[in-house]
Structure 1
Amino acid sequence: MGPKSVDDLQFFEKMIRKTLCLLKCNKHNPKDGLHGLPKSVLKEFEDLKPYEYLQLCYYQKNLLQKAASAVFTYLVNNPDNKVMQENLKFYSELPEVDMSEVVNFEARNYVSLYIHGAEAYQHEDYKSVISYIEESLEDYLRAEDECRAYCEGPFDQGWFPDFVSSIANHFTYCLKCKRRCPDKLNSLNGEKHQDLLASHYHFLQYAYYKVGNLRKACEAVASYLMFYPADETMMNNKEYYFKLPKVEKDFFTPREEAVEYVQRQEYELRLLDFIENEFSFKDGSENAIDINETENKSSLTKVKDSIIMGTVSKSKLFPPPIIKF
């Protein structure tokens, strides 16, 4: 048996051991956890449908502040729902409801941490900015890992492929799901911020500069440029830092988590680009789907289009923009 065959076996051994781990984990969850629920029920949870009922229950119990928060939580995920918009307006006019205390029950920790960090930035409390934004960054990456893990659930292929095709088909289904995770997470209480992850490094580069940690500031600049390599503002900042007497070239080393994230993203997008241009595959129904018919641009092209092109102007340090909440 040659080295290549051993490598193949090691891959499948890893999958077998991972499966055993998942089976043991699922023994502690009814019906294999959420993956054991009917697809229609899962969809309702994903769409936050229970909050439609919760707000009514809270209202009936005269828990009006919670009712307003339940409506707001639903609207974060379903902003175009007219009925719930009217409900929120109704609650906002009640004297018992303080709209400044209305919260998103489903908000992840990184959302509040990010908001606190942005508020600390407005108050020029840069040590707090670093503390909040670093923690927010860590929690955001953890949330995306959890989202990606959930994508590896069961998949009804709707046909009976052979061994290799089955693996490729299921992997593609999971990969497309994983690529949707950033869009699900790039929301601050209903407001979409496509650069949310990268913007952490924008706050950090300025805050670290303000507390005198130039190496950390330069690392944050390099990390931001991993996401947007031609961003004019950050290129200007890099030039500004580079001219400081204590700054050395090796200061501009991107942080490990940024490198890993961008490399994974680029690889996945290249792979999806290949799949979308070369394959038709099953989406769980009995009909083959031609991705090129449903998407005008490949994923890789969209990312390229999102890069902000610009040239470096005069040396000046640019802080992150002030975000209003």
Structure 2
Amino acid sequence: MLRLLRPLLLLLLLPPPGSPEPLGLAQLSPGSPPQAPDLLYADGLRAYAAGAWGPAVALLREALRSRAALGRARLDCGASCAAEPGAALPAVLLGAPEPDSGPEATQGSWEQQLLRAALRRADCLTQCAARRLGPGGAARLRVVRALRDAFRRREPYNYLQRAYYQLKKLDLAAAAAHTFFVANPMHLQMREDMAKYRRMSGVQPQSFRDLETPPHWAVYDTSLELLGRQEAGLALPRLEEALQGSLAQMESCRADCEGPEEQQGAEEEEEDGAGSQGGLYEAIAGHWVRVLQCRQRCVEEMATRPGRSFPVPDFLPSQLRRLHEAYAQVGNLSQAIENVLSVLLFYPEDEAAKGALNQYQAQLGEPRPGLGPREDIQRFILRSLGEKRQLYYAMEHLGTNFKDPDPWTPAALIPEALREKLREDQEKRPWDHEPPKPKPLTYWKDVLLLEGVTLTQDSRQLNGSERAVLDGLLTPAECGVLLQLAKDAAGAGARSGYRGRRSPHTPHERFEGLTVLKAAQMARSGTVGSQGAKLLLEVSERVRTLTQAYFSPERPLHLSFTHLVCRSAIEGEQEQRMDLSHPVHADNCVLDPDTGECWREPPAYTYRDYSGLLYLNDDFQGGDLFFTEPNALTVTARVRPRCGRLVAFSSGGENPHGVWAVTRGRRCALALWHTWAPEHREQEWLEAKELLQESEEEEEEEEEEEEMPSKDPSPEPPGRRHQGVRDKAGKPPRVREEL
């Protein structure tokens, strides 16, 4: 009965219509114990599917708060119970396990201490959780891994933004959409929704706020802005707050690692290498190793920005470097020394840090007693090194796995037997297979498969790998036919692939897209001319043949996707424009500019192997294609579009590229992607070809029937007789009425 009444009870908690909503998501049920997040989330999705937007909002919000309350309770209870007398673990567990631990009496002593401390800690945690979370404590609110992943991906906000929109709460709808989009920047549907929210009159710029931003990231970004303006005095409090927030975020993550252990599958046990072997001590060791592995991963989680796949390298040491430099700028040399000494705890041989330390000490004059590294950093490093010792011991003696997230771990800490293996693992590239290596110039040759096609620039001239610019693939007349096709299709309202009027990448441009199948369907209905649709198919095959001959003569390429796209500058919105028409990206991997890596994993189109852009015009301003280094900042080459010019390149992380803003006019191009995988061949291309062939055959049959003399002298029915009649615009009357 309570399960059935929950949506109605939560609906009563919603504010009345017209009442102001909070900036964030305020507590709906203060003072009452939280309910199970998984049940709340499941009920919220049911209400969403039924179109009950009010209950859906209440349930989803309560699920988010219930999960947050569970995390806070676990963190607070863990800290308070660890500080209780008699709850400390035996000292033997704080360092590396010793294989020869002494006589049996001593071994029994530490074993009793361990079990006694574990029992006391468990009793304390159970009672604390019951006080904070109600009867049953954390066991009642246990969150399964699938739900944790959904919350980590911020999926509830995807449903919330839609529900808020239906409730006419546009401010919160935009906030929820932005919160989801920050963590899922490759989500195309949400990208379109964000563009729509920006065009709505009831949505203000401040509506686009991240409701889940970790506090340390917000403060850290503010401090960087202040440092960029040379305001070190104002930046210092925020830098300190960011460092403390980073350490607090790590403690919260570590507390989650001590939650209930889920049953692992065979694949997960093989990956962790810490599966239970059936005995008491093996089970204890396996669980403890998994907890330690989880704790060590918290460094990466804390250093990973929302929406990014990989952490900022050396995040904690980099914060300490900025701190000691900022303190030195304002003349606080004691604090500068404290922070630079903390950097040396991570990297004792860092020449820049040692040089800064000598400079600060010389400026300070007489040495001051008590100056040393920060205590919070000392505690962090000592605890981390103790955990690493245990993990490396388990790795060497128990066959478990451990990927050290820190580059500062001393080599002496790693057992000699493991160093060579770890060195080989670190040298492996992050993608599934090696990217194509640059071929010698003698390999490249001018491709003369098509008359009039010339190689304008090769990879050497474009300062990269597997890039080429070829001219002469289209005549001016062919460019005109395809431009007219794009114009007619846009006029008829065909925007396949992108339904919004504005570009999904920038609010300052309009974006129109046409696929080969849509073009064939429109040609079949008479909306556009069949000549343009046929030429679209012919040209795409022309580009595929040329790309295969140039880059992959030994292995066939297949068209994966073909898209005729036009970008138009919106008048009156080009002043002081700083964005790009298309941000820097790679076509088959997720580019991480912070690390310079490109990870061939979803949501990227991992099956794409080569890309091509065939330009149709040049009567516009801006819109140049450019290639960059993996940092997405350093431009290595720039290509100006023109009719018949093809830019072809491999689709991986070796070719990050973007498009400069189109500030005037309309830029049209045929975008093509090729794949070696036959199963990813573009099926719509084949369907379009069949559709156009059928139309051509029907036209031929009608012509034959008109030429044959009729045996029946009676007149034909009006509908059949006037089927070929067209108006002054050249369109059938039926099509004109539809338009």
TM-score by length of 2: 0.36
Give the one of 378, 391, 411 matched to 1:272: 391
Alpha-carbon distance in 2 for matches of 1:229, 1:95? 56
Deviations 1:154-191 (A, max 9, x none): 22456672211111111111111112212222134545
Structure 1 residues 98 and 251, CA, compared in 2 at 3 Å: closer, same or farther? farther
Give the one of 214, 220, 224 matched to 2:333: 214
Q: Which residue is equivalent to 1:15?
A: 118
Aligned-CA RMSD value: 3.1
Q: Which residue is equivalent to 2:283?
A: 166
Give the one of 292, 297, 320 matched to 1:201: 320
Higher alpha-carbon Rg? 2
* Structure with a larger share of its residues in strand: 2
Deviation, structure 1 residue 217:
0.4
Worse-superposed segment, 37-46 or 166-175 = 37-46
Q: Which residue is equivalent to 2:379?
A: 260
Deviation, structure 1 residue 112:
2.3
Alignment check: 8 A CA contact 2:337 2:372 kept: yes
The equivalences for 1:1-325 within 5 A come to: 2-27=105-130, 28-29=132-133, 32-33=137-138, 36-99=142-205, 102-157=208-263, 161-190=278-307, 192-244=311-363, 246=365, 248=367, 253-280=372-399, 291=401, 298-299=403-404
Alignment check: 8 A CA contact 1:65 1:96 kept: yes
Deviation, structure 1 residue 75:
3.2
Alignment check: 8 A CA contact 1:208 1:217 kept: yes
Tell me which amino acid in the other structure corresponds to 2:110: D
Structure 1 residues 111 and 301, CA, compared in 2 at 3 Å: closer, same or farther? closer
Alpha-carbon distance in 1 for matches of 2:316, 2:175? 26
Q: How many residues align?
A: 292
Please list every run of 5 or more consecutive structure 1 residues that lacks an aligned counterpart in the other structure.
Answer: 282-290, 307-325
Alignment check: 8 A CA contact 2:346 2:408 kept: no
Tell me which amino acid in the other structure corresponds to 1:213: N
Structure 1 residues 190 and 36, CA, compared in 2 at 3 Å: closer, same or farther? closer
Structure 1 residues 273 and 78, CA, compared in 2 at 3 Å: closer, same or farther? farther
Alpha-carbon distance in 2 for matches of 1:98, 1:234? 45
Deviation, structure 1 residue 145:
0.9
Q: Which has the higher contact order (CA 8 A, sep 6+)?
A: 1
Alpha-carbon distance in 1 for matches of 2:314, 2:366? 27
Alpha-carbon distance in 1 for matches of 2:116, 2:390? 24
Worse-superposed segment, 98-107 or 133-142 = 98-107
Tell me which amino acid in the other structure corresponds to 1:15: A
Tell me which amino acid in the other structure corresponds to 1:61: L
Deviations 1:233-286 (A, max 9, x none): 4344224324325263877621111122122223323433343454346xxxxx
* Structure with a larger share of its residues in helix: 1
Q: Which residue is equivalent to 1:314?
A: none
Tell me which amino acid in the other structure corresponds to 1:165: E
Deviation, structure 1 residue 114:
2.0
Deviation, structure 1 residue 101:
5.0
Deviation, structure 1 residue 97:
3.4
Alpha-carbon distance in 2 for matches of 1:252, 1:216? 9
TM-score by length of 1: 0.76
Deviation, structure 1 residue 57:
1.4
Deviation, structure 1 residue 93:
3.9
Structure 1 residues 157 and 280, CA, compared in 2 at 3 Å: closer, same or farther? farther
Deviation, structure 1 residue 51:
1.0
Tell me which amino acid in the other structure corresponds to 2:156: P
Deviations 1:29-60 (A, max 9, x none): 26533852344333322322211111111222
Deviations 1:43-88 (A, max 9, x none): 3223222111111112222333332332232233333333323333
Tell me which amino acid in the other structure corresponds to 2:341: A
Deviations 1:176-223 (A, max 9, x none): 111221222213454542333223212221222233221110110111
Tell me which amino acid in the other structure corresponds to 2:168: N
Percent identity (aligned)? 26
